[in-house]
Every structure is written in C-alpha cells, then in structure tokens.
Amino acid sequence: MTEKETMQQAGYRMDRSRWAQLSFDEQMGNIGSEVGRAIKARREGKLLKEERAIERAIDLFSATMEAHINTADAYRLKEVLRARDEFLRLFYDGTFAEDADSIERYFLWFAWRSRSSS
C-alpha cells in the first residue's frame, strides 16, 4: 500500500480500497463513530484523544469523498462536505455545547440505517 492509501496513528490504519467498497450509509456511520469519540473526549477533557479522533474523522471524510468522486454517487459529495464542515465547526467555532448532541444524532441515523439494511 502507498502512503496515500493508509494513515498510521498509534495503531490506526485505514485501507481506502476496502473503505470504498462500503455503502455510503456504512461510511457515514463509521465516521459517526469517530465523531462520537471526539465528542466524548472533549466532554471528558481528554485533549489528545480528542485530537486523534478528529484526525481519524477527517481522514474518513476524505476517504469517503475520494470513494464517490467520478461515480454515480457523486451527488453525495455535497452532503459529506457539509457534514465535515459542521463537524469541524463544532470543535473550532465555539458551538460545541449547543450542537454536539445534534451532530451525534445526525451520524447515528446513518449507523442505524446501515445496520437495518444489512
């Protein structure tokens, strides 16, 4: 695998070709897991865990966009970009307290949907 295909971080390794085989709902649900980890770490004041979860989430957002460029699902890119922007705004724009729960609910919907269609 090339450097572009994987990201290593304290045991984290991401296979982009395998990621591209997941459904959109599975991808977004998995992103939601990292979003939830980042939110939990922020609430617990664990800065390093928060930073690592944010980095992993950004990597998953990027992998999702890469998986859908030039495909029939390219229309999904707008949603992925908007979700990424809202996630980053949550941590860097001072809206954490007001918006953390709603962003978690947004991603939970994808996790639920991917589980119910399996």
Cα separation, 40 vs 61, whole angstroms: 19
Domain ranges of the chain: 23-116
The per-residue pLDDT for range 41-72, each reduced to its tens digit, is: 999 999 999 999 999 999 999 999 999 998 88
Hey, how many other C-beta atoms are within 10 angstroms of the C-beta on 68? 19
The per-residue pLDDT for range 106-117, each reduced to its tens digit, is: 999 998 887 787
Cα separation, 14 vs 6, whole angstroms: 5
Report yes or no: 117 and 29 within 8 Å, Cβ to Cβ. Answer: no
Residue-averaged pLDDT of the chain: 89
Residue 94, SS3 per DSSP: coil
Question: Taking 90 as the threshold, does the pLDDT of residue 90 lie above it?
Answer: yes
Q: How far is CA 63 from the centre of its chain?
A: 9
Report yes or no: 100 and 39 within 8 Å, Cβ to Cβ. Answer: yes
Please calculate the CA angle 34-40-46 and round it to the nearest 5 degrees.
Answer: 105
Q: What is the pTM of this model?
A: 0.86
